[in-house]
Amino acid sequence: MNRQYSVVLGAAAFALTTFAAQAGAPDAGASAFTSQCQNCHNVVDDDGEVLAGRPNVRTGPNLYGVFGRQAGTVEDFRYGASLVEAGDEGLVWDEENMVPYLLNPVDFLRETLDDRRARSQMSFRVRDEGTANDIIAFLVSLSPEMEEEETAD
């Protein structure tokens, strides 16, 4: 691995680790994911290994690598028009926008798009900001960058 790539990868892994530590508790997020998210979502890595959730869930998109990804872009998943539009307008998932989305997807999209008619296919709402932050920390812990850091150790 060339030095420049290694430095960039290391910086990204450090940023994600810091982000996860600030966002919430991954263990609590794993529990919340199991009780609140896995009926619709799973986390399946690029090799097809199920890291969280059930193997063949197709209601919601795979959440592997969700942070840093443009909204509405998982291949072969049929998103609602409002989420695709938000992604086309530049929405990229991070802590700043994921928390309000998890708390109220419809309101988030309406505000993001400045369109009172915007809709979300995700009808579920996370109950509180702490739980949303825990879920985020859990998803970050399963991110491709964190896996690369673990295999480099």
Distance CA 29, CA 72 (A): 23
pTM: 0.79
pLDDT band at 147 (very low <50, low <70, confident <90, very high): low
Partnered with residue 50 across adjacent β-strands are 44
pLDDT band at 95 (very low <50, low <70, confident <90, very high): confident
For the chain, domains (ranges, CATH) are 3-152 (1.10.760.10)
Residue indicated by tokens 């296919």: 121
Sign of the alpha-carbon dihedral angle for 86, 41, 16, 130: positive
Does the pLDDT of residue 12 top 50, yes or no?
A: no
Percent pLDDT > 70 in the chain is 80
Average pLDDT of span 90-96: 95
Residue type, 100: P
Partnered with residue 52 across adjacent β-strands are 43
Average pLDDT of span 15-30: 68
Please name which of 41, 45, 23 lies closest in space to residue 33, comparing C-alpha atoms: 41
What token pair was written down for 128?
């509180």
**Cα 65–69–29 angle (5° rounding)?**
45
